[in-house]
Amino acid sequence: MHTSKPLSLFQHVLTKKIPSLLKSNSDKSSALSLEDTIKLLKFSADTRDFKLGRTIHAHLITSSSNVQLNVIQTNSLIHFYVKCDEISLARKLFDQMPERNVVSWSSIMAGYFHNGFALEVLNLFKSLNFGGFLCPNEYIFATVLSSCSDLRAIKEGVQCHSYVLKTGLLFHSYVKNALLHMYTRCLDMEGALRVFKSVPGSDILTYNSIINGFVENGYLSEALEVLIQMVNEYVVWDHVTYVTVLGLCAHLKDIKLGSQVHGQILKAGSESDEFVGSALIDMYGKCGKTIYARNAFDELHDRNVVLWTAIMATYSQNGCFEEALNLFPEMVLEGVQPNEYSYAVMLNSCAGLSAMRHGDMLNGHALKSGFKNYMIVANALINMYSKSGSVDHANQVFSNMIYRDTVTWNSMISGYSHHGLGREALSVFYRMLVAAEVPNYVTFVGVLSACAHLGLVDEGFYYLNQLMKDMRIEPGVEHYTCIIGLLGRAGRLSEAENFMNSRSVRWDVVAWRTLLSACHVHRNISLGKQVAENILKLDPNDVGTYILLSNMYAKARRWDGVVSIRKLMRGREIKKEPGVSWIQVKNITHVFVSEDKNHKDSIQIYDKLADILGQIKHLGYVPDIASVVHDVEDEQKEEYLSFHSEKLAIAFGLLNTPSEAPIHVIKNLRMCHDCHTAVKLISMVAQRKIIVRDANRFHCFQSGTCTCGDYW
DNA sequence: GTCCGCGGGA
């Protein structure tokens, strides 16, 4: 900003000289001196005062006896036009200059750089005659190297590196920092580190740049190392340092370090800076501290769209989807308009809730406001539709997209996979390869799980051992878990077990549970027991394992086993979560707990259920009363089964939705075997598509079959 | 005398 001294000078010029200038330009005594015009032009440039600058320009043309302006005047004019984003006017002046000095070149190049035309900077640089008078200086290289950063032009950047090394320009801090930044943007952290270590004189910008580069490229321990060095050298931090270091804390999930930085921020009085504020919210959010994030948000008074989106993202990332969604109207009420990021966060919150109606509404909003064209919004829409059960709608969004990135393709592939539509998932994957989009780690999780659904064992191993290797993607525990699922589904349980024993992978609960599921489906009790023991060693409170184990015994009619598991659970004070299902009808979410008679339409729902269960009995449905372990009469056992929450929700859906509409139900636990059989038949009798999202996957029931192929 | 570098939300 300006100091008070030049301001008073300009005030003098503005009040005394400009009025007289505008009155008459024949009065020589009131004409501006050369120094004054240049100072005025700088003032116009700094304040982006286009009108004032234009006036000075006009004055220069009319008052000058010479038609040509001198180089310095023209340079000042170029700089002024550049600062007012009038790059073509600046270029016109530049082209008309009979002779140019190095400042003329650096001014026009900086102009192009700041207006986003980095390529034009490199073109100008190439046309600059090195051999002649003009010798590029530190200004030129700072701008050229920044343009290389924008373009990720590492080759040109390295050429500049050798030139500035030879000429000694590298020892200008501007050049050094621009070069270092170039390497970090081109993802060459070794190059950045070489510059950092070999060129003396690191300032706060150097530290900010290198730490930020390390964080963005995932080298967290290296970033921490530089941070420690910076602290030891007593470098004074600025706002950017706070933002950068908070980003590091967020990635490390290091709440202790983050709190210390927060303390420094408060001491420095920087807490009201919007960049610092959003970084604070993000840090607390990533560390799982939603309340601290909310406090930081509430402390701020000028809350822009970024801050609102940051706090919504915090809630969403921590599973508080409703809180995230509820902030939206609050934000709009405060006069802040959402942008593409806000829509993405909101849609992902809808995905978490399977709230398709809400998501539909946001889709409409995004369409009207033009944000649907943003890739992140479209990607979030695909995710929302497939996670709330309508993979067809997801595909519609996908098909209408003109540009797609890796996330787009991945979302569609894993969307189909979650729905058990392996063929469709693989077909999208092949189209991705044809479109020359490069698959990544996530892509193959979707592809391998599609193979698992289709039982394509050989193909699965081909993708894992061959294609991923060719594409230099290191397989992780998620991929290996898909392989376990693949072998398990094919009934090759001992191979799956051997696979787990032969790989030195840190197997997690998800992997073991996959094997346990396979044991459950294929009724391999001895292996299942062993696997369950492994899981309970990792997490003795894993309720899902107890339930799966007990279901496995039930399926095999081993009631002694069921009783022993129940006893074990009681002993360890582990409670089975009650089954809850919910369904959205006309923007209202109706929640059903098993044996629940609290709904206001309870009587009609039970009537409908009795009716439809009667119908499917004609088709051969026999309630699996043996699976009910309560010690009661058979008649009552049948009642227990018919009151399972998903059956209640489906009956409600049949009563309250149009006859063609698919019924979407979400359940907190896995579907039980009896419900699965019943719903298959209901889909036939009622001629409805019924989609159930359970704790594990999607089941899409239609005409008597389910997309899970009875394997879950 | 005139020109130059680092940062936030999915």
Q: Is A454 helix (H, G, I), strand (E, B) or coil?
A: helix
> Distance from residue A59 (CA) to nucleotide B3 (C1'), in Å?
23
For the segment A83-91, the average pLDDT, to the nearest whole number, is 93
State the pLDDT at residue A654.
Answer: 93
Tens of pLDDT, residue by residue over A385-401, are 999 889 999 999 999 99
Range 233-272, chain A: CB under 7 Å to any strand B atom? 238-240, 243-244, 247
Range 69-108, chain A: CB under 7 Å to any strand B atom? 70-73, 75-76, 79, 101-104, 106-107
State the pLDDT at residue A173.
Answer: 92
Domain A476-576 is of which CATH architecture? Answer: Alpha Horseshoe (1.25)
| Any strand B atom closer than 7 Å to A143 CB | yes
pLDDT at A111 over 90: yes
State the pLDDT at residue A629.
Answer: 63
Q: Which residues pair with A665 in a beta bridge?
A: A692
> Distance from residue A468 (CA) to nucleotide B5 (C1'), in Å?
40
pLDDT at A587 over 80: no
Range 13-42, chain A: CB under 7 Å to any strand B atom? 34-35, 38, 42
> Distance from residue A140 (CA) to nucleotide B2 (C1'), in Å?
14
Tens of pLDDT, residue by residue over A491-543, are 999 999 999 999 988 999 889 999 999 998 898 999 999 999 989 988 888 88
With bands split at pLDDT 50, 70 and 90, how would you rate the model's confidence at A1?
very low
Q: Considering only CA atoms, which of A98, A78, A91, A96 is closest in space to residue A117?
A: A91
Q: Which nucleotides of B are covered by protein (CB under 7 A)?
A: 1-10
Tens of pLDDT, residue by residue over A216-227, are 999 999 999 999
With bands split at pLDDT 50, 70 and 90, how would you rate the model's confidence at A20?
very low
Tens of pLDDT, residue by residue over A119-156, are 999 999 998 876 666 788 999 999 999 999 999 999 99
State the pLDDT at residue A27.
Answer: 45
For the segment A374-382, the average pLDDT, to the nearest whole number, is 95
> Distance from residue A186 (CA) to nucleotide B3 (C1'), in Å?
26
State the pLDDT at residue A22.
Answer: 42
For the segment A587-606, the average pLDDT, to the nearest whole number, is 85
For the segment A159-185, the average pLDDT, to the nearest whole number, is 93
With bands split at pLDDT 50, 70 and 90, how would you rate the model's confidence at A428?
very high
With bands split at pLDDT 50, 70 and 90, how would you rate the model's confidence at A24?
very low
Nucleotide nearest to A174 (CA to C1'): B5
Q: Considering only CA atoms, which of A492, A498, A496 is closest in space to residue A513?
A: A496
For the segment A457-477, the average pLDDT, to the nearest whole number, is 94
Q: What's the rounded Cα separation, in Å, for the pair A186 and A152?
A: 5
Nucleotide nearest to A72 (CA to C1'): B2
State the pLDDT at residue A130.
Answer: 66
Nucleotide nearest to A173 (CA to C1'): B5
State the pLDDT at residue A66.
Answer: 63
pLDDT at A174 over 50: yes
State the pLDDT at residue A631.
Answer: 67
> Distance from residue A284 (CA) to nucleotide B10 (C1'), in Å?
17
pLDDT at A10 over 60: no
Tens of pLDDT, residue by residue over A312-342, are 999 999 999 999 999 999 999 999 999 999 9
Long-range contact set of residues A186-193: C-beta below 8 Å, sequence gap at least 24: A186/A148, A186/A149, A186/A152, A186/A153, A186/A154, A186/A157, A187/A217, A188/A154, A189/A213, A189/A214, A189/A217, A189/A219, A189/A222, A191/A158, A193/A222
* Domain limits, chain A: 476-576, 580-706
- Portion of chain A with pLDDT greater than 70, in percent: 94
